[in-house]
Amino acid sequence: MRFLSSVLDGYVDRKGIGGLVGPAGFQVRLGRSGREPDVFYLAPEHMDRFHRTYVQGAVDLAVEILSPESRVRDRREKFREYAEAGVREYWIIDPEAETMEPYRLSAGGAYEPAPLDGAGRVTSEVIPGLWIDPTWMWVERPSQWTAYREWGLI
């Protein structure tokens, strides 16, 4: 989802947070497997994992957008693999159901559902101050400028 990738990248850039927002098609090597999240974020303190064409090890946030052929893989296989590798946040977005499910890695190494804030927004612990209004993604042509205005960046 190009919108989410560009809006996260803009947020990280405009806030001066650092790190890297990566789009689909970029491989994340997790021990025994390699995965390509639809969007990911790698925090500044983990930039040593970044290589020109892949990330070696866990990213800090992985986002998967469900499609009919990826539902089981994203909810079972990737869910387990990301947790085992230490991906701190995992968001599953279902465009068909118009849902966004955020998970955070517990101290015990398992994902737990992350609560939405009082306004029904998804918040991140790995990208400081970031929140996403899921309704932004369900409009026909989402605009990153809407997010930037709501965040007070413009």
pLDDT of residue 124 exceeding 80, the answer is: yes
Residue 1, pLDDT above cutoff 90: no
CATH hierarchy code of domain 2-149:
3.90.1570.10
Q: What is the mean pLDDT of the chain?
A: 94
| One-character DSSP codes across 121-135 | -EE-SSSTT-EE-GG
CA distance 59 to 70: 20
What angle in degrees, to the nearest 10, is found between the helix axes of 2-15 and 144-151? Answer: 30
Phi, psi of 76 (to 5 degrees): -110, -65
Contact 122, 102 (CB under 8 A): yes
Q: What is the pLDDT of residues 10-57, one digit of tens each?
A: 999 999 999 999 988 899 999 888 999 999 999 999 999 999 999 999
Tell me what the mean pLDDT of segment 105-120 comes to: 95
pLDDT, residue 70, reads 86
| Phi, psi dihedral angles at 6 (to 5 degrees) | -70, -35
Burial-class residue 139 by CB neighbours within 10 Å (0-12, 13-18, 19+): exposed
Give the pLDDT mean for 75-103: 95
pLDDT for residue 126 is more than 90? yes
CA distance linking residue 115 with residue 58, whole number of Å: 23
Q: Is the dihedral of CA 48, 53, 58, 62 positive or negative?
A: positive
pLDDT at 47: 98
